[in-house]
Structure 1
Amino acid sequence: MSALDTLRGGLVVSCQPVDDGPMDRPEIVAAMAAAAVAGGANGLRIEGVDNLVAVRQVVSVPIIGILKRDLDDSPVRITPYLADVKALAEAGADIIAYDATDRPRPETTAAIVAAIHAARALAMADCSTLADGQRALAEGAAILGTTLSGYTAETKDRVEGVDHDLIHAFHQLGGFVMAEGRVNTPELAGSAMAAGADAVTVGTALTRLEHVTGWFQSAVAQAVEARS
Protein backbone atom coordinates (compact mmCIF):
# COMPACT_ATOMS: atom_id res chain seq x y z
CA MET A 1 0.00 0.00 0.00
CA SER A 2 1.32 3.45 -0.90
CA ALA A 3 1.88 6.18 1.68
CA LEU A 4 -1.05 8.17 0.32
CA ASP A 5 -3.34 5.14 0.51
CA THR A 6 -2.29 4.63 4.12
CA LEU A 7 -2.96 8.27 5.02
CA ARG A 8 -6.24 8.65 3.11
CA GLY A 9 -9.21 9.02 5.41
CA GLY A 10 -7.01 9.09 8.48
CA LEU A 11 -5.20 11.09 11.12
CA VAL A 12 -1.62 12.35 11.07
CA VAL A 13 -0.11 13.33 14.42
CA SER A 14 2.53 16.04 14.42
CA CYS A 15 4.94 15.18 17.22
CA GLN A 16 6.68 18.51 17.66
CA PRO A 17 7.33 19.40 21.30
CA VAL A 18 7.90 22.98 22.39
CA ASP A 19 11.41 24.01 21.32
CA ASP A 20 13.93 23.55 24.15
CA GLY A 21 11.16 22.37 26.46
CA PRO A 22 11.46 19.36 28.78
CA MET A 23 9.96 17.04 26.12
CA ASP A 24 12.23 18.23 23.31
CA ARG A 25 14.37 15.08 23.16
CA PRO A 26 14.49 12.43 20.40
CA GLU A 27 13.65 9.56 22.74
CA ILE A 28 10.57 11.42 24.02
CA VAL A 29 9.48 12.35 20.49
CA ALA A 30 9.81 8.68 19.55
CA ALA A 31 7.67 7.69 22.53
CA MET A 32 5.04 10.27 21.52
CA ALA A 33 5.06 8.88 18.00
CA ALA A 34 4.66 5.29 19.14
CA ALA A 35 1.81 6.32 21.45
CA ALA A 36 0.09 8.18 18.61
CA VAL A 37 0.28 5.12 16.37
CA ALA A 38 -1.03 2.95 19.20
CA GLY A 39 -3.97 5.36 19.42
CA GLY A 40 -4.77 4.98 15.73
CA ALA A 41 -2.66 7.55 13.89
CA ASN A 42 -2.18 6.66 10.23
CA GLY A 43 0.95 8.78 9.89
CA LEU A 44 3.27 11.19 11.67
CA ARG A 45 4.82 14.59 11.04
CA ILE A 46 8.27 14.89 12.57
CA GLU A 47 10.65 17.86 12.70
CA GLY A 48 14.42 17.42 12.76
CA VAL A 49 16.79 14.73 11.60
CA ASP A 50 17.62 13.34 15.06
CA ASN A 51 13.93 13.09 15.94
CA LEU A 52 13.13 11.45 12.62
CA VAL A 53 15.87 8.83 13.03
CA ALA A 54 14.56 7.98 16.50
CA VAL A 55 10.94 7.76 15.34
CA ARG A 56 11.73 5.68 12.26
CA GLN A 57 13.11 2.95 14.52
CA VAL A 58 9.84 2.48 16.40
CA VAL A 59 7.06 2.93 13.80
CA SER A 60 6.25 1.68 10.31
CA VAL A 61 3.58 4.24 9.34
CA PRO A 62 4.40 6.98 6.80
CA ILE A 63 6.45 9.85 8.20
CA ILE A 64 6.24 13.41 6.91
CA GLY A 65 9.62 14.95 7.64
CA ILE A 66 10.44 18.64 7.96
CA LEU A 67 13.34 20.80 9.03
CA LYS A 68 12.60 24.20 10.54
CA ARG A 69 15.12 27.03 10.28
CA ASP A 70 15.03 30.68 11.32
CA LEU A 71 16.66 32.57 8.44
CA ASP A 72 17.88 36.16 8.55
CA ASP A 73 16.90 36.96 4.97
CA SER A 74 13.72 34.94 4.45
CA PRO A 75 10.43 34.30 6.31
CA VAL A 76 10.44 30.71 5.02
CA ARG A 77 11.07 28.26 7.87
CA ILE A 78 9.99 24.82 6.65
CA THR A 79 12.63 22.83 4.74
CA PRO A 80 14.16 25.81 2.94
CA TYR A 81 17.31 24.12 1.58
CA LEU A 82 18.05 21.32 -0.86
CA ALA A 83 20.45 19.89 1.72
CA ASP A 84 17.52 19.66 4.16
CA VAL A 85 15.65 17.47 1.70
CA LYS A 86 18.62 15.10 1.39
CA ALA A 87 19.05 14.88 5.17
CA LEU A 88 15.37 14.13 5.77
CA ALA A 89 15.25 11.47 3.08
CA GLU A 90 18.35 9.75 4.46
CA ALA A 91 16.80 9.83 7.95
CA GLY A 92 13.79 7.88 6.73
CA ALA A 93 11.09 10.34 5.67
CA ASP A 94 8.53 8.92 3.24
CA ILE A 95 7.10 12.39 2.57
CA ILE A 96 8.96 15.69 2.83
CA ALA A 97 7.01 18.88 3.52
CA TYR A 98 8.24 22.29 2.42
CA ASP A 99 7.03 25.89 2.52
CA ALA A 100 5.17 26.34 -0.77
CA THR A 101 4.32 30.02 -0.37
CA ASP A 102 5.35 32.69 -2.85
CA ARG A 103 7.85 34.44 -0.58
CA PRO A 104 11.58 35.26 -0.82
CA ARG A 105 13.57 32.09 -0.21
CA PRO A 106 17.06 30.62 -0.58
CA GLU A 107 15.93 27.85 -2.98
CA THR A 108 13.00 27.87 -5.40
CA THR A 109 10.00 25.71 -4.66
CA ALA A 110 10.49 23.95 -8.01
CA ALA A 111 14.05 23.02 -7.02
CA ILE A 112 12.89 21.75 -3.62
CA VAL A 113 10.23 19.53 -5.22
CA ALA A 114 12.72 18.20 -7.77
CA ALA A 115 15.11 17.32 -4.95
CA ILE A 116 12.33 15.52 -3.07
CA HIS A 117 11.52 13.49 -6.16
CA ALA A 118 15.19 12.72 -6.70
CA ALA A 119 15.30 11.38 -3.13
CA ARG A 120 12.40 9.05 -3.99
CA ALA A 121 10.05 10.72 -1.53
CA LEU A 122 6.68 12.41 -1.94
CA ALA A 123 6.41 16.20 -1.74
CA MET A 124 3.93 17.88 0.60
CA ALA A 125 3.32 21.56 -0.10
CA ASP A 126 2.65 23.60 3.03
CA CYS A 127 0.42 26.31 1.57
CA SER A 128 -1.35 29.47 2.66
CA THR A 129 -3.48 30.28 -0.40
CA LEU A 130 -5.18 28.70 -3.38
CA ALA A 131 -2.46 30.12 -5.64
CA ASP A 132 0.17 28.31 -3.56
CA GLY A 133 -1.67 25.04 -4.13
CA GLN A 134 -2.08 25.59 -7.84
CA ARG A 135 1.63 26.29 -8.24
CA ALA A 136 2.58 23.33 -6.07
CA LEU A 137 0.49 20.90 -8.10
CA ALA A 138 2.04 22.21 -11.31
CA GLU A 139 5.51 21.65 -9.84
CA GLY A 140 4.73 18.08 -8.82
CA ALA A 141 3.62 18.14 -5.17
CA ALA A 142 1.62 15.06 -4.17
CA ILE A 143 -0.06 16.62 -1.10
CA LEU A 144 -1.53 20.08 -0.60
CA GLY A 145 -1.56 21.18 3.04
CA THR A 146 -3.38 24.16 4.52
CA THR A 147 -0.53 24.39 7.04
CA LEU A 148 0.40 28.05 6.54
CA SER A 149 -3.05 29.61 6.26
CA GLY A 150 -3.05 32.35 8.88
CA TYR A 151 0.72 32.39 9.19
CA THR A 152 1.65 34.66 6.29
CA ALA A 153 1.14 38.39 5.77
CA GLU A 154 -1.36 37.60 3.02
CA THR A 155 -3.51 35.44 5.31
CA LYS A 156 -3.00 37.09 8.70
CA ASP A 157 -6.76 37.58 9.10
CA ARG A 158 -7.34 33.80 9.14
CA VAL A 159 -6.34 33.14 12.72
CA GLU A 160 -9.41 31.38 14.12
CA GLY A 161 -10.25 27.75 13.53
CA VAL A 162 -9.73 25.57 10.49
CA ASP A 163 -9.61 27.13 7.02
CA HIS A 164 -12.54 25.19 5.56
CA ASP A 165 -12.67 27.41 2.48
CA LEU A 166 -9.08 26.59 1.54
CA ILE A 167 -9.65 22.88 2.18
CA HIS A 168 -12.64 22.96 -0.16
CA ALA A 169 -10.73 24.94 -2.80
CA PHE A 170 -7.85 22.45 -2.72
CA HIS A 171 -10.33 19.57 -2.98
CA GLN A 172 -11.68 21.15 -6.15
CA LEU A 173 -8.17 21.22 -7.61
CA GLY A 174 -7.80 17.47 -7.24
CA GLY A 175 -4.86 15.78 -5.62
CA PHE A 176 -4.49 14.84 -1.97
CA VAL A 177 -5.58 17.47 0.58
CA MET A 178 -4.13 17.60 4.10
CA ALA A 179 -6.00 19.77 6.58
CA GLU A 180 -3.47 21.23 8.98
CA GLY A 181 -3.39 24.21 11.28
CA ARG A 182 -5.45 24.97 14.39
CA VAL A 183 -7.20 21.59 14.39
CA ASN A 184 -7.56 21.65 18.15
CA THR A 185 -10.64 19.49 18.78
CA PRO A 186 -12.10 16.25 17.44
CA GLU A 187 -15.03 18.28 16.12
CA LEU A 188 -12.72 20.48 14.06
CA ALA A 189 -10.97 17.39 12.68
CA GLY A 190 -14.33 16.02 11.58
CA SER A 191 -15.36 19.32 10.02
CA ALA A 192 -12.10 19.43 8.06
CA MET A 193 -12.86 16.03 6.57
CA ALA A 194 -16.39 17.14 5.76
CA ALA A 195 -14.95 20.16 3.90
CA GLY A 196 -13.04 17.86 1.56
CA ALA A 197 -9.78 16.92 3.25
CA ASP A 198 -8.27 13.52 2.52
CA ALA A 199 -6.51 13.46 5.89
CA VAL A 200 -6.08 15.69 8.93
CA THR A 201 -2.94 16.62 10.86
CA VAL A 202 -3.22 17.45 14.55
CA GLY A 203 -0.22 18.68 16.51
CA THR A 204 -0.44 21.11 19.41
CA ALA A 205 -3.60 19.64 20.94
CA LEU A 206 -1.92 16.24 21.19
CA THR A 207 1.78 16.78 21.67
CA ARG A 208 2.48 20.22 23.15
CA LEU A 209 1.62 19.64 26.77
CA GLU A 210 2.66 23.14 27.83
CA HIS A 211 0.15 24.75 25.46
CA VAL A 212 -2.73 22.43 26.29
CA THR A 213 -2.09 22.85 30.00
CA GLY A 214 -2.26 26.60 29.43
CA TRP A 215 -5.68 26.29 27.81
CA PHE A 216 -7.08 24.47 30.84
CA GLN A 217 -5.30 26.71 33.34
CA SER A 218 -6.77 29.79 31.65
CA ALA A 219 -10.28 28.32 31.72
CA VAL A 220 -9.95 27.48 35.42
CA ALA A 221 -8.59 30.93 36.26
CA GLN A 222 -11.41 32.65 34.38
CA ALA A 223 -13.98 30.54 36.20
CA VAL A 224 -12.44 31.36 39.56
CA GLU A 225 -12.46 35.06 38.73
CA ALA A 226 -16.09 34.95 37.63
CA ARG A 227 -17.06 33.13 40.81
CA SER A 228 -15.43 35.62 43.15
Structure 2
Amino acid sequence: MTAQDLAGSLWGRLIVSCQAPPGDPMRETSALVRLARSAAAGGGAAIRANEPEVVAAIAGAVGLPVIGLWKDGDTGVYITPSVRHALAIVEAGAAVVAADATDRPRPDGSSFADLVAAVHGAGALVMADVSTLAEGITAAGLGADFVSTTLSGYVPGTPAQHGPDLGLVAALAAAVDVPVVAEGRVNTPEEAAEALSLGAHSVVVGTAITAPTALTARFVAALSLR
Protein backbone atom coordinates (compact mmCIF):
# COMPACT_ATOMS: atom_id res chain seq x y z
CA MET A 1 0.00 0.00 0.00
CA THR A 2 1.40 3.41 -0.93
CA ALA A 3 1.54 6.30 1.51
CA GLN A 4 -1.15 8.05 -0.51
CA ASP A 5 -3.45 5.03 -0.43
CA LEU A 6 -3.02 4.50 3.29
CA ALA A 7 -3.44 8.18 4.06
CA GLY A 8 -6.67 8.16 2.09
CA SER A 9 -8.00 5.22 4.09
CA LEU A 10 -7.15 6.93 7.39
CA TRP A 11 -8.36 10.45 6.64
CA GLY A 12 -10.66 11.68 9.38
CA ARG A 13 -10.74 8.30 11.07
CA LEU A 14 -9.79 6.56 14.30
CA ILE A 15 -6.68 4.46 14.89
CA VAL A 16 -6.95 2.28 17.99
CA SER A 17 -3.84 1.52 20.02
CA CYS A 18 -4.05 -2.03 21.37
CA GLN A 19 -1.21 -2.18 23.89
CA ALA A 20 -0.69 -3.02 27.54
CA PRO A 21 2.19 -2.20 29.88
CA PRO A 22 4.46 -4.87 31.40
CA GLY A 23 2.72 -6.76 34.18
CA ASP A 24 -0.77 -5.79 33.07
CA PRO A 25 -3.27 -8.69 32.83
CA MET A 26 -4.08 -7.62 29.26
CA ARG A 27 -0.48 -8.07 28.11
CA GLU A 28 -1.16 -11.36 26.38
CA THR A 29 -1.13 -11.70 22.63
CA SER A 30 -4.54 -13.38 22.50
CA ALA A 31 -6.09 -10.61 24.62
CA LEU A 32 -4.60 -7.88 22.45
CA VAL A 33 -5.86 -9.62 19.31
CA ARG A 34 -9.37 -9.62 20.76
CA LEU A 35 -9.06 -5.92 21.52
CA ALA A 36 -7.99 -5.30 17.93
CA ARG A 37 -10.90 -7.32 16.58
CA SER A 38 -13.27 -5.35 18.81
CA ALA A 39 -11.76 -2.09 17.57
CA ALA A 40 -12.27 -3.21 13.98
CA ALA A 41 -15.87 -4.19 14.70
CA GLY A 42 -16.47 -0.74 16.17
CA GLY A 43 -15.26 1.03 13.04
CA GLY A 44 -11.57 1.62 13.73
CA ALA A 45 -9.52 2.27 10.60
CA ALA A 46 -6.17 0.87 11.76
CA ILE A 47 -4.50 -0.70 14.79
CA ARG A 48 -1.35 0.46 16.57
CA ALA A 49 0.46 -2.43 18.27
CA ASN A 50 3.70 -3.16 20.08
CA GLU A 51 6.24 -6.00 19.62
CA PRO A 52 6.73 -8.35 16.67
CA GLU A 53 4.67 -11.24 18.05
CA VAL A 54 1.64 -9.05 18.71
CA VAL A 55 1.97 -7.19 15.42
CA ALA A 56 2.08 -10.48 13.51
CA ALA A 57 -0.91 -11.91 15.36
CA ILE A 58 -3.05 -8.81 14.84
CA ALA A 59 -2.02 -8.45 11.21
CA GLY A 60 -3.09 -12.05 10.65
CA ALA A 61 -6.39 -11.73 12.50
CA VAL A 62 -7.70 -8.28 11.62
CA GLY A 63 -8.25 -6.94 8.14
CA LEU A 64 -6.91 -3.48 8.94
CA PRO A 65 -3.51 -1.85 8.47
CA VAL A 66 -1.24 -2.30 11.47
CA ILE A 67 0.99 0.50 12.69
CA GLY A 68 3.69 -1.45 14.47
CA LEU A 69 6.36 -0.47 16.93
CA TRP A 70 8.74 -2.17 19.32
CA LYS A 71 9.22 -0.69 22.77
CA ASP A 72 12.60 -1.76 24.10
CA GLY A 73 13.27 -0.28 27.54
CA ASP A 74 11.49 2.58 29.24
CA THR A 75 13.87 5.54 29.15
CA GLY A 76 15.41 7.63 26.39
CA VAL A 77 14.68 6.51 22.84
CA TYR A 78 12.85 3.23 23.30
CA ILE A 79 10.04 3.27 20.72
CA THR A 80 11.57 1.30 17.81
CA PRO A 81 15.03 2.56 18.73
CA SER A 82 17.06 0.97 15.93
CA VAL A 83 16.95 -0.22 12.35
CA ARG A 84 16.98 -3.80 13.65
CA HIS A 85 13.81 -3.20 15.64
CA ALA A 86 12.15 -1.47 12.70
CA LEU A 87 12.88 -4.24 10.22
CA ALA A 88 11.57 -6.85 12.65
CA ILE A 89 8.29 -4.95 12.79
CA VAL A 90 8.09 -4.83 8.99
CA GLU A 91 8.77 -8.57 8.83
CA ALA A 92 5.95 -9.11 11.34
CA GLY A 93 3.50 -7.58 8.90
CA ALA A 94 3.17 -3.91 9.81
CA ALA A 95 2.15 -1.55 7.03
CA VAL A 96 3.65 1.34 9.00
CA VAL A 97 6.51 1.40 11.49
CA ALA A 98 6.15 3.96 14.28
CA ALA A 99 9.43 5.16 15.72
CA ASP A 100 10.77 7.81 18.06
CA ALA A 101 11.86 10.77 15.92
CA THR A 102 12.90 13.11 18.72
CA ASP A 103 16.29 14.78 18.65
CA ARG A 104 17.66 12.49 21.37
CA PRO A 105 20.50 10.07 20.57
CA ARG A 106 19.50 6.57 19.53
CA PRO A 107 21.04 3.74 21.59
CA ASP A 108 22.86 2.14 18.67
CA GLY A 109 24.23 5.40 17.28
CA SER A 110 22.05 5.29 14.17
CA SER A 111 19.89 8.15 12.95
CA PHE A 112 16.19 8.49 12.26
CA ALA A 113 17.12 8.95 8.60
CA ASP A 114 18.79 5.51 8.64
CA LEU A 115 15.58 3.97 9.98
CA VAL A 116 13.42 5.71 7.37
CA ALA A 117 15.65 4.48 4.54
CA ALA A 118 15.65 0.91 5.85
CA VAL A 119 11.88 0.76 6.34
CA HIS A 120 11.17 2.25 2.93
CA GLY A 121 13.63 -0.19 1.41
CA ALA A 122 11.68 -3.03 3.02
CA GLY A 123 8.45 -1.80 1.48
CA ALA A 124 6.74 -0.23 4.50
CA LEU A 125 5.95 3.29 5.67
CA VAL A 126 7.16 5.33 8.66
CA MET A 127 5.26 7.22 11.33
CA ALA A 128 7.47 9.67 13.23
CA ASP A 129 6.60 9.96 16.91
CA VAL A 130 7.62 13.48 17.94
CA SER A 131 7.36 15.80 20.93
CA THR A 132 7.86 19.24 19.35
CA LEU A 133 7.12 21.21 16.21
CA ALA A 134 10.80 21.32 15.25
CA GLU A 135 11.10 17.54 15.52
CA GLY A 136 8.03 17.06 13.34
CA ILE A 137 9.34 19.38 10.65
CA THR A 138 12.70 17.61 10.68
CA ALA A 139 11.10 14.15 10.53
CA ALA A 140 8.93 15.11 7.57
CA GLY A 141 12.01 16.46 5.81
CA LEU A 142 13.79 13.16 6.41
CA GLY A 143 11.05 11.23 4.63
CA ALA A 144 8.56 10.23 7.35
CA ASP A 145 5.20 9.40 5.78
CA PHE A 146 3.21 10.46 8.86
CA VAL A 147 4.04 12.63 11.86
CA SER A 148 2.41 11.88 15.21
CA THR A 149 2.27 13.94 18.41
CA THR A 150 2.77 10.78 20.49
CA LEU A 151 5.65 11.98 22.65
CA SER A 152 4.52 15.48 23.58
CA GLY A 153 4.44 15.67 27.36
CA TYR A 154 6.53 12.53 27.79
CA VAL A 155 9.94 13.91 26.82
CA PRO A 156 11.84 16.09 29.30
CA GLY A 157 11.39 19.73 28.38
CA THR A 158 7.93 19.35 26.86
CA PRO A 159 4.93 20.61 28.85
CA ALA A 160 3.00 18.09 30.93
CA GLN A 161 -0.68 18.09 30.03
CA HIS A 162 -3.78 16.19 31.11
CA GLY A 163 -5.22 16.11 27.59
CA PRO A 164 -3.90 15.97 24.03
CA ASP A 165 -1.44 18.60 22.83
CA LEU A 166 -3.87 20.23 20.44
CA GLY A 167 -1.58 23.21 19.99
CA LEU A 168 1.12 20.95 18.58
CA VAL A 169 -1.43 19.24 16.35
CA ALA A 170 -2.45 22.58 14.84
CA ALA A 171 1.13 23.82 14.49
CA LEU A 172 2.29 20.64 12.74
CA ALA A 173 -0.72 20.59 10.43
CA ALA A 174 0.20 24.11 9.29
CA ALA A 175 3.90 23.35 8.91
CA VAL A 176 4.30 19.96 7.22
CA ASP A 177 2.96 18.42 4.03
CA VAL A 178 2.58 14.89 5.39
CA PRO A 179 -0.46 13.72 7.38
CA VAL A 180 -0.39 14.69 11.07
CA VAL A 181 -1.72 12.14 13.54
CA ALA A 182 -3.02 13.30 16.92
CA GLU A 183 -1.92 10.90 19.64
CA GLY A 184 -1.39 11.10 23.35
CA ARG A 185 -3.96 11.49 26.15
CA VAL A 186 -6.98 11.70 23.85
CA ASN A 187 -9.56 10.86 26.48
CA THR A 188 -12.93 11.65 24.90
CA PRO A 189 -14.69 11.57 21.52
CA GLU A 190 -14.96 15.35 21.77
CA GLU A 191 -11.18 15.73 22.06
CA ALA A 192 -10.71 13.44 19.07
CA ALA A 193 -13.13 15.51 17.00
CA GLU A 194 -11.42 18.73 18.07
CA ALA A 195 -8.07 17.35 16.93
CA LEU A 196 -9.52 16.77 13.47
CA SER A 197 -10.96 20.27 13.39
CA LEU A 198 -7.47 21.64 14.12
CA GLY A 199 -5.92 19.82 11.19
CA ALA A 200 -5.18 16.30 12.34
CA HIS A 201 -5.44 13.78 9.53
CA SER A 202 -6.48 11.01 11.94
CA VAL A 203 -6.50 10.31 15.67
CA VAL A 204 -4.98 7.53 17.78
CA VAL A 205 -6.78 6.54 20.97
CA GLY A 206 -5.41 3.91 23.31
CA THR A 207 -6.02 4.01 27.06
CA ALA A 208 -9.54 5.48 26.80
CA ILE A 209 -10.61 2.45 24.75
CA THR A 210 -8.31 -0.50 25.40
CA ALA A 211 -6.92 -0.23 28.95
CA PRO A 212 -9.37 -1.60 31.54
CA THR A 213 -6.78 -1.59 34.33
CA ALA A 214 -5.98 2.10 33.89
CA LEU A 215 -9.64 3.03 33.46
CA THR A 216 -10.62 1.16 36.62
CA ALA A 217 -7.84 2.92 38.53
CA ARG A 218 -9.21 6.31 37.45
CA PHE A 219 -12.61 5.51 38.88
CA VAL A 220 -11.08 4.13 42.08
CA ALA A 221 -8.98 7.28 42.50
CA ALA A 222 -11.99 9.53 41.96
CA LEU A 223 -14.07 7.66 44.53
CA SER A 224 -11.26 7.85 47.08
CA LEU A 225 -11.47 11.65 46.95
CA ARG A 226 -15.06 11.78 48.19
TM-score, scaled relative to structure 1: 0.93
1:58 aligns with 2:61: yes
1:18 aligns with 2:28: no
The alpha-carbon deviation at position 51 of structure 1 amounts to 0.5
Aligned to 1:165: 167
User: Any residues of structure 2 matched to 1:45-194 within 5 Å, and which?
Assistant: 45-70=48-73, 75-105=76-106, 106=108, 107-155=110-158, 157-173=159-175, 174-194=177-197
Alpha-carbon separation, structure 2, partners of 1:4 and 1:20? 34
Unaligned 5+ residue runs, structure 2?
none
Q: Size of the alignment, in residue pairs?
A: 220
Instruction: Answer whether contact 2:72 2:78 (CA < 8 A) is retained.
Output: yes
Aligned to 1:195: 198
Residue identity opposite 1:8 in structure 2: W
Instruction: Answer whether contact 2:59 2:65 (CA < 8 A) is retained.
Output: no
SS in 1 for 2:61: coil
Alpha-carbon separation, structure 2, partners of 1:117 and 1:220? 49
Superposed CA offset, 1:77-133 (max 9, x none): 100111111111111000001000000112211101111101111110000001111
Superposed CA offset, 1:41-71 (max 9, x none): 0001000111111111111211100000117
The alpha-carbon deviation at position 176 of structure 1 amounts to 0.1
Alpha-carbon separation, structure 2, partners of 1:204 and 1:160? 13
Of all paired residues, the percent bearing the same amino acid is: 42
Alpha-carbon separation, structure 1, partners of 2:85 and 2:72? 10
Alpha-carbon separation, structure 2, partners of 1:161 and 1:24? 25
The alpha-carbon deviation at position 159 of structure 1 amounts to 2.1
Please identify the structure whose Cα radius of gyration is greater.
1
1:216 aligns with 2:219: yes
Structure 1 vs Structure 2 CA RMSD:
1.3
SS in 2 for 1:125: strand
Instruction: Answer whether contact 2:36 2:47 (CA < 8 A) is retained.
Output: yes
The alpha-carbon deviation at position 153 of structure 1 amounts to 1.1
Alpha-carbon separation, structure 2, partners of 1:5 and 1:200? 14
Instruction: Answer whether contact 1:18 1:210 (CA < 8 A) is retained.
Output: no
TM-score, scaled relative to structure 2: 0.94
SS in 2 for 1:181: coil
SS in 2 for 1:153: coil
Superposed CA offset, 1:198-223 (max 9, x none): 1000001111111000111222232x
Unaligned 5+ residue runs, structure 1?
none
Alpha-carbon separation, structure 2, partners of 1:50 and 1:90? 10
